[in-house]
């Protein structure tokens, strides 16, 4: 079904999630609509002495139930998450591999941090036991493209395959670039998203030293409070969100169930500061405008924005400003929410899990809330769907993600017409 048409339409046919609020899409989505909090005191290591001691962990995780135990031992926790989410998404898509050309299936699953736990564990072995104690699987386990490579081996996909790294914009960039690959005829099907497992001592110490994370350790349930007065930093999450996307022609030819259409995407840079977003929201504004324009979507047709909404003082204020810049009067008619209030911030996987949420919003007409929004910041004065899920007519959703380095990504999903 090879084609070089840049106008080729791209649709979503499969969804996969691994998170502490649900290790399947349906369980996770039920948690989103219920407004459940996924944040608690860190259990993966002893956080005593760290300024931030809370996170959204995937507890009760048993990768051996989903993967070859040998591959579990050889790979990092982030790869486990991404592999299992990709497996669920591919199964959900209903693709019959015996009837597909493997050269026309690609995988792009990114990670902002990669195998941090592997790095820490193996470095400790080096210091304590010398070089002979370091595992030969160290490098494959810690590099950020391994999830893509491992899942391609699992399904025999020989199309485009790589990892993508752009901090917290990683998964959205992976999805957008995968969309372009289909549009330019490089593949018929792409498995794309992000995975992250950075709840480790070294990662926590590093983010704590930046004073980027919340220190509301005595009240994990309300610590993540995007757009609220008194927000004091993000809360780390872990997990994965992966989607199967394919050309509309390919999906229809095989009789696929189609969730929605992926119509627009853009990537920009703030070129302002290595960690702080542009205070005028110029880079994010441009990303949203370009994403809408690439899908020929007028701003007034957007019904809902899944905001980056990290619960940091700068991000939430500047993202609100950027939304106002792009949408004008329509900004006050939009529903906006930060689902990070429940999931925590999954860094490179954030855009993957939030794209799954966006797709489910289009499919169901249900909008997940921003929980813990009881005392709004006067500078964040839009409709953030506070505390309770909402039923609404939703045909078009925009999702934003920003990353250290000044990275911006925006992606647009729309009901298929």
Query: 34 in a domain, yes or no?
Result: yes
Residue 1, pLDDT > 80, answer: no
pLDDT tens digits, one per residue of 291-329: 999 999 999 999 999 999 999 999 999 999 999 999 999
Query: 50 in a domain, yes or no?
Result: yes
Mean pLDDT score, 178-189 = 97
Last-in-domain residue among 219, 253, 287: 253
Last-in-domain residue among 197, 230, 253: 253
Of the listed ranges 4-18, 27-41, 179-193, 342-356, the least confidently predicted one is 4-18
Measured at the CA of 238, the angle between CA 180 and CA 80, to 5 degrees, comes to 75
Quote the domain boundaries for residue 296. 265-414
Query: 131 in a domain, yes or no?
Result: yes
Q: Are residues 187 and 107 in the same domain?
A: yes
Mean pLDDT score, 46-63 = 97
Residues 407 and 267 sit within 8 Å (Cβ to Cβ): yes
Q: Are residues 77 and 193 in the same domain?
A: yes
Number of domain units in the chain = 2
Residue from 19, 80, 147, 168 carrying the catalytic annotation: 168
Query: 5 in a domain, yes or no?
Result: no
Query: 2 in a domain, yes or no?
Result: no
Q: Are residues 274 and 241 in the same domain?
A: no
Mean pLDDT score, 190-209 = 97
Q: Are residues 186 and 273 in the same domain?
A: no
The pLDDT value recorded for residue 2 is: 44
Q: Are residues 239 and 323 in the same domain?
A: no
Q: Are residues 143 and 194 in the same domain?
A: yes
Query: 365 in a domain, yes or no?
Result: yes
Q: Are residues 248 and 272 in the same domain?
A: no
Q: Is 260 a catalytic residue?
A: no
Q: Are residues 269 and 249 in the same domain?
A: no
- CA–CA distance, 18 with 126 (Å, rounded to integer): 32
Q: Is 147 a catalytic residue?
A: no
pLDDT tens digits, one per residue of 381-412: 999 999 999 999 999 999 999 999 999 999 99
Residue from 80, 147, 308, 380 carrying the catalytic annotation: 308
Query: 1 in a domain, yes or no?
Result: no
Last-in-domain residue among 229, 253, 277: 253
Q: Is 308 a catalytic residue?
A: yes
The pLDDT value recorded for residue 334 is: 97
The pLDDT value recorded for residue 275 is: 84
The pLDDT value recorded for residue 153 is: 97
Q: Are residues 140 and 282 in the same domain?
A: no
Q: Are residues 247 and 292 in the same domain?
A: no
Q: How confident is the model at residue 5 (pLDDT cuts 50, 70, 90)?
A: very low
Query: 366 in a domain, yes or no?
Result: yes
HEC readout, the chain? CCCCCCCCCEEEEEEEEEECCECCHHHHHHHHHHCCCCCEECCCCCCCCCCCCEEECCCCCCHHHCCCHHHHHHCCHHHHHHHHHHHHHHHHHCCCHHHCCHHHEEEEEECCCCCHHHHHHHHHHHHHHCHHHCCCCHHHHHCCCHHHHHHHHHHCCCCCEECCCECECHHHHHHHHHHHHHHCCCCCEEEEEEEECCCCHHHHHHHHHCCCECCCCCCHHHHCCCCECCCCCECEECEEEEEEEEEHHHHHHCCCCCCEEEEEEEEEECCCCCCCCCCCCHHHHHHHHHHHHHCCCCHHHCCEEECCCCCCHHHHHHHHHHHHHHHHHHHHCCEEECCHHHHCECHHHHHHHHHHHHHHHHHHCEECCECCCCCECCCCCCCCCECCCEECCCCEEEEEEEECCCEEEEEEEECCC
Residue 226, pLDDT > 50, answer: yes
Q: Tell me the pTM.
A: 0.96
Q: Are residues 246 and 270 in the same domain?
A: no
Give me the chain's average pLDDT, please. 96
The pLDDT value recorded for residue 7 is: 66
CATH at residue 17: 3.40.47.10
Q: Are residues 275 and 243 in the same domain?
A: no
pLDDT tens digits, one per residue of 65-114: 999 999 999 999 999 999 999 999 999 999 999 999 999 999 999 999 99
């Amino acid at each position: 079904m090879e084609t070089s048409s840049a106008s080729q339409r791209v649709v979503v046919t499969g969804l996969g999630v691994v998170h502490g609020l649900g290790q399947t899409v349906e369980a996770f989505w039920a948690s989103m609509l219920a407004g459940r909090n996924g944040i608690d005191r860190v259990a993966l290591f002893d956080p005593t002495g760290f300024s931030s001691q809370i996170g959204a962990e995937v507890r009760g995780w048993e990768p051996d139930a989903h993967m070859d135990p040998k591959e579990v031992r050889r790979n990092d926790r982030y790869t486990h998450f991404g592999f299992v989410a990709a497996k669920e998404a591919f199964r959900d898509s209903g693709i019959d591999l015996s009837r597909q050309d493997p050269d026309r299936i690609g995988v792009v699953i990114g990670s902002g941090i990669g195998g941090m736990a592997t790095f820490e564990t193996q470095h400790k072995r080096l210091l304590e036991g010398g070089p002979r104690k370091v595992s030969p699987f160290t490098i494959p386990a810690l590099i950020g493209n391994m999830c893509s490579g491992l899942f391609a081996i699992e399904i025999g996909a020989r199309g485009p395959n790589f990892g993508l790294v752009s901090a917290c914009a990683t998964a959205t960039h992976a999805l957008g670039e995968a969309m372009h690959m289909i549009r330019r005829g490089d593949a018929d099907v792409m498995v794309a998203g992000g995975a992250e497992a950075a709840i480790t001592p070294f990662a926590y110490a590093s983010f704590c030293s930046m004073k980027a994370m919340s220190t509301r350790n005595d009240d994990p349930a309300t610590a993540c409070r995007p757009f609220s007065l008194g927000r004091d930093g993000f809360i780390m999450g872990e997990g994965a969100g992966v989607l199967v996307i394919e050309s509309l022609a390919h999906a229809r030819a095989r009789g696929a169930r189609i969730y929605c259409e992926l119509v627009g995407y853009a990537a920009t840079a703030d070129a302002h500061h290595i960690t702080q977003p542009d205070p005028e929201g110029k880079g994010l504004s441009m990303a949203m405008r370009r994403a809408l324009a690439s899908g020929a979507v007028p701003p007034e047709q957007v019904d809902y924005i899944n905001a980056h909404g990290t619960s940091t003082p700068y991000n939430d204020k500047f993202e609100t400003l950027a939304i106002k810049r792009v949408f004008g009067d329509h900004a006050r008619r939009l529903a906006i929410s930060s689902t990070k209030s429940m999931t925590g911030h999954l860094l490179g996987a954030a855009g993957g899990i939030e794209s799954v949420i966006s797709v489910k919003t289009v499919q169901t007409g249900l909008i997940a809330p921003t929980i813990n929004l009881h005392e709004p910041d006067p500078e964040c004065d839009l409709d953030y769907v506070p505390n309770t899920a909402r039923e609404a007519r939703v045909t078009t959703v925009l999702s934003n993600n920003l990353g250290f380095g000044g990275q911006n990504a925006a992606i647009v999903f729309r009901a298929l017409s």
